[in-house]
């Protein structure tokens, strides 16, 4: 997981996926380091709340 979080932003465009905003990755890394599990969006893939706002609210 740590390797993915460090390399995903650069790798994703090569496999036709959109990377998240750059400032999201350190927040996700912190969530991983804190051993927080579960969904951020409550299971709603169409949530109108941005991922960065959700991560910052935690």
Global pTM reads 0.67
Residue 42: which region, alpha, beta or left (left: phi > 0; alpha: psi -120 to 50)?
left
Cβ proximity of 19 and 5 under 8 Å: no
Residue 39: which region, alpha, beta or left (left: phi > 0; alpha: psi -120 to 50)?
beta
The confidence score (pLDDT) of residue 35 equals: 94
The confidence score (pLDDT) of residue 1 equals: 76
Query: CA 12 to CA 19: how far, in whole Å?
Result: 6
pLDDT in tens, 9-54: 777 777 777 778 889 889 989 999 999 988 888 888 788 888 888 8
The confidence score (pLDDT) of residue 15 equals: 74
Query: CA 43 to CA 33: how far, in whole Å?
Result: 22
The confidence score (pLDDT) of residue 27 equals: 92
């Amino acid at each position: 997981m740590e390797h993915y979080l460090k390399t995903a932003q650069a790798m994703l465009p090569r496999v036709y996926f959109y990377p998240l905003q750059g400032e999201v990755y350190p927040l996700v890394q912190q969530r991983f380091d804190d051993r927080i599990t579960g969904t951020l969006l409550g299971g709603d893939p169409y949530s109108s709340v941005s991922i960065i706002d959700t991560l910052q609210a935690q």
